[in-house]
Amino acid sequence: MKTLTIRWKRLVDGQDQTCPRCGATGETVRSAVDKLKKALAELGIEVLFKTETLDFPMFSQDSLQSNRIWIGEKPLEEWIGATVGQSPCCGVCGDSDCRTLSIGNNTYEEIPERLIVQAGLLAAAELYTD
């Protein structure tokens, strides 16, 4: 069986809290992973989901690492042709800007499920080119 690993990294404070945009992305990435697991099982592909945390010192060095999704060995933005940006956030993030993704005229602070599913399907197709 082939394996597709999806990793999601976000800032988590000492009380195990994250910002609202990472919280919303967490829900959508979990839902997307569930859909991909069902769809790809028929093709003999096991989907694994891993979460990684950033503490504030790591986040302060590179805030764009928070709310980042990796599908296989590539970041989500590479699969879907998005560009990475940043915008002011709140809560746990303090005054730091947080990661955004832009595709065409749309900029997303919270990553939509459909983009994660799209990237997952592209990554799954690539597993069959070996």
Nearest to 64 by CA among 40, 93, 37, 107: 93
Which residues are 47's β-sheet partners?
4
- Residues 79 and 119 sit within 8 Å (Cβ to Cβ): yes
pTM for the whole structure: 0.91
Read off the DSSP letter of residue 97.
Answer: E
In the chain, where the domains are located? 2-127
Q: What is the pLDDT along the chain (130 residues), one digit of tens a residue?
A: 899 999 999 878 777 778 788 888 899 999 999 999 999 999 999 999 999 887 777 776 777 778 899 999 999 999 999 999 988 777 666 667 788 999 999 999 899 999 999 999 999 999 988 6
DSSP 8-class letter at 61: H
